[in-house]
Amino acid sequence: MRGFSIAVVAGARPNFMKIAPIVRALRERAGAALESGVDLRISIVHTGQHYDENMSEVFFRELEIPAPDRHLEVGSGSHAEQTARIMVAFEKYILWEKPDWVVVVGDVNSTIGCALPAKKLGVKVAHVEAGLRSFDMSMPEEINRKLTDAISDLLFVTEESGVRNLCAEGVAPEKVFLVGNVMIDTLLRNKAKIEGPDFIPSPAVKAFCGKGRRYAVLTLHRPSNVDSREALAPIWGVLSEIARRIPILFPVHPRTRAKIGKFGLKENGIILVDPVGSIDMLYAVKGAALVLTDSGGLQEETTVLGIPCITIRENTERPVTVTVGTNYLAGTDPGRILAAANEILTGNAKKGAVPPLWDGNASGRIADILLRQKNPEPGRS
Ligand code: UD1
């Protein structure tokens, strides 16, 4: 019997949605692996980048992710502090667990913070959601993505643009696999749950969304949009204007809530609620006439759900949501945000389609490729 140990890393809210189907797909294959003489060990490492109940535990519960095998408890801090704490703690974990592969997802500090010590200790690294580029190096996520991709041994890509970007950066094509989107695996599984007879949304979400009313959903947390009054006040102004035409539900990130308070911004018809879990969020988004966001994942989820989405950013690393999907890249200019909202609210929203391979089976493809690494085909890494 040969051992094969894979450590799957998550740290921040969007990571949990991504690791859930990967861990499930790997576990589903453990029995077949055993029959073929491979003792597959799958470990989950939570870095602790996000730690509030409603930013972390609720996702483990709802998405049926097994409890982490190791919690690094790094918490918040400056980028350097947080990333450094992750690196030091994860290096110790690697030396103790000695995994064959480390799987990192997305573009948060936990992604690079774990990829780097793993690679330096000679452990293979697989990056899920590789190749996405905003070409905006002022975004911490863009730095995290580029560095993680540069040192990864397997790069799992969600959309064609990612393959092109990696190719342009000189990544060896045999490391790159276009597999689809693990966020959509989670979305489709959760969608079946909320459409089932037993689903009851949380009281806050039900009170807002469950009355057959027309409404919009907002998320906003990018430092470039919320950290300064100069950035946030004009965005808040146009959102308040839109809220006069359609009520807006805003599950608000702790970072943003603190800034709204600090800058003394009035709620103006925008209904602030605490962060909600992934299933409640899906319930709210699925029934919305419009989503306004600066998040990455929501651009993808709205595309699959066919819900019009206005992205309050100057760029997106997920261009397929604009070219194929329902996403409007409006930037942060109030006039452009309002023009997009007008188009949507007057019934003229563009009709989108679902990008190739966003079919709910990306994690299965990833698991199959990872398990092949126990016995790589000649010529494959
Ligand atoms: C991080 C990711 C971002 C992702 C977002 C999703 C990086 C560089 N950024 O940003 O890409 O879109 O997560 O939410 O990794 N806080 C709490 N409770 C928590 C977590 C954070 O109150 O459980 C507060 C703290 O004041 C903290 C601040 O939020 O300082 C920011 O948290 P942090 O993880 O550093 O970055 P995010 O803005 O959440």
The response to whether residue 55 sits with its C-beta less than 6 Å from ligand 1 reads yes
Furthest CA-CA distance within the chain: 65
Side-chain-side CA neighbours of residue 29 (13 Å): 23
The response to whether residue 254 sits with its C-beta less than 6 Å from ligand 1 reads yes
Tell me which residue has its CA closest to atom 9 in ligand 1: 108
The response to whether residue 221 sits with its C-beta less than 6 Å from ligand 1 reads yes
Taking the CA of residue 82 as reference, the ligand 1 atom at the shortest distance is 35
| DSSP-H helix ranges across 63-139 | 79-97, 109-120
- What is the distance between the alpha carbons of residues 368 and 357, in angstroms, rounded to a whole number? 15
- What is the distance between the alpha carbons of residues 249 and 251, in angstroms, rounded to a whole number? 7
Give the pairing type, strands 38-46 and 2-10.
parallel
Backbone angles phi, psi at 101, to 5 degrees: -135, 145
The response to whether residue 114 sits with its C-beta less than 6 Å from ligand 1 reads no
Tell me which residue has its CA closest to atom 18 in ligand 1: 52
Q: Which residues are catalytic?
A: 221
Q: Ligand 1 center to residue 5 CA distance, Å?
A: 29
Residue of 49, 141, 316 to test ligand 1 pocket, by largest number of atoms within 8 Å of CB: 49
Task: Give me the tens of pLDDT residue by residue for the chain, a chain 381 residues long.
Answer: 899 999 999 999 999 999 999 999 999 999 999 999 999 999 999 999 999 999 999 999 999 999 999 999 999 999 999 999 999 999 999 999 999 999 999 999 999 999 999 999 999 999 999 999 999 999 999 999 999 999 999 999 999 999 999 999 999 999 999 999 999 999 999 999 999 999 999 998 998 997 788 999 999 999 999 999 999 999 999 999 999 999 999 999 999 999 999 999 998 889 999 999 999 999 999 999 999 999 999 999 999 999 999 999 999 999 999 999 999 999 999 999 999 999 999 999 999 999 999 999 999 999 999 999 987 655 444
The response to whether residue 50 sits with its C-beta less than 6 Å from ligand 1 reads yes
Query: Residue 141: how many CB atoms within 10 A of its CB?
Result: 19
For the whole prediction, is pTM greater than 0.85?
yes
Q: Ligand 1 center to residue 50 CA distance, Å?
A: 6
